[in-house]
Amino acid sequence: MRTLGFETTTGEVIAGQDLTGRVALVTGASAGLGVETARTLAGAGATVYLLARDRGRLDAALDTLRAENLPGKLESALLDLADLDQVREAAAGLLRTCPKIDILINNAGVMACPLGRTAQGFEMQLGTNHVGHFLLTCLLLPALKAAGSPQRAARVVNLSSAGHSFAAMDFEDPNYRQRPYDKWQSYGQSKTANVLFSLALDARVAASHVRAFAVHPGAISTELGRHLDQEDMERIAAAFPGGKMSFKSVPQGAATSVWAATAPELEGKGGLYLEDCQIAQPAADGVIGGVHPWALDEEAAERLWQLSQEWVGQEFAA
Ligand SMILES: NC(=O)c1ccc[n+]([C@@H]2O[C@H](COP(=O)([O-])OP(=O)(O)OC[C@H]3O[C@@H](n4cnc5c(N)ncnc54)[C@H](OP(=O)(O)O)[C@@H]3O)[C@@H](O)[C@H]2O)c1
């Protein structure tokens, strides 16, 4: 039995796995963890669709990976999660080309940005990190169900964060219409939403052989920090023992996503929050990491599912 943990890399997770014939989609594949996740899956033979909102940045990522002569096929499609019309358009195109989707990695994200609104008026972090991914995933369910089998379920991986510790869902004012905007509370709420969505989705579709997981990748130096200033960095560091953050490399950071998407030991499981290539423990006082109870609250998960359906104006049957 292999021992996986904080330092495990994508290469170690994927070693010995052959993904030939499988189709994987990765959102936010123009930077950071998304590119490494796509690289690893294509490196094991999967056909990988890189999805991102900016054609130039997407093409640059695609060129980088194509130059590596990976065994898997690389495709791409534009997807702007901050515009539900675009999400619908992207999903329709993907369903036309991918009748079966084995792996969907909802990796794209924004963190601690100034108050902004998506095309349909959702607060930017909740709208991008949760609402756009909710709609994309639900629209792609027919292809995920078509790929899943009793022997091997299709998997949906939602990138959450230890930042879910900053906030539970505020069902009274999720989009900051009345309360003052706080960029960290908002990030925390959106990352709690990613876990709740994983729970509700898994409960609905496990019987159709589609399983969902939430992942905290670790702290990795990527472009995610583009909105942070020195004060933010000091506040984050202060939360770590001795005031020093323990960073992961990008291959270490993407390892838990790849583990969630492919690990044979997770077959038959779902609705779990994972970190360091392990099923996370409940968060404990004074310890960094773990999953907080508000993110595993089944009632909140159901309430968010219903609200998300209202937001996107569509109901999704199990
Ligand atoms: N890095 C960390 O320490 C860390 C810690 C905990 C959780 N996470 C989570 O891990 C995930 C990946 O983060 P990362 O570190 O790789 O960040 P990153 O380097 O900033 O990459 C984020 C990706 O998301 C894309 N994106 C942003 N808004 C989008 C939108 N509206 N539509 C489509 N794509 C959009 C970005 O596209 P552009 O290239 O166009 O900007 C980029 O491809 C995120 O969900 C993040 O919350 C990261």
pLDDT at 239: 73
pLDDT average, residue stretch 164-192 = 97
Residue 79 Cβ inside 6 Å of ligand 1? The answer reads: yes
257 Cβ neighbours under 8 A, 6+ residues apart: 33, 37, 105, 107, 157, 159, 215, 217
Q: What is the pLDDT of residues 73-87, one digit of tens each?
A: 999 999 999 999 999
Instruction: Show me where the domains of the chain are located.
Output: 10-312
Task: Return the best residue to mutate from 107, 156, 189 for the ligand 1 pocket (most ligand atoms within 8 A of CB).
Answer: 107
- pLDDT recorded at residue 73: 98
Cβ 19 vs Cβ 41: under 8 Å? yes
Is residue 254 within 6 Å of ligand 1 at its C-beta? no
Residue 118 has pLDDT above 70, yes or no: yes
53 vs 40: CA distance, rounded Å: 21
Closest protein CA for atom 23 of ligand 1: 28
Mean pLDDT of 153-160: 98
The token pair that represents 182 in the structure block: 């706080």
32 lines ligand 1 (CB under 6 A): yes
What pLDDT does 291 receive? 97
Residue 1: pLDDT band with limits 50, 70, 90: low
| pLDDT score at 138 | 98
Q: Half-sphere exposure (CA, 13 Å, Cβ side) for 129? A: 28
What is the CATH architecture of 10-312?
Answer: 3-Layer(aba) Sandwich (3.40)
- Given a cut of 70, is residue 48 above it in pLDDT? yes
What percent of the chain lies above the pLDDT cut of 70? 100
Kindly report which listed range (91-100, 108-117, 154-163, 281-290) carries the lowest average pLDDT score. 281-290
**Residue 52 beta carbon below 6 angstroms from any ligand 1 atom:** yes
- What's the pLDDT tens digit per position in 90-111? 999 999 999 999 999 999 999 9
Closest CA to 114 of 124, 105, 122: 124
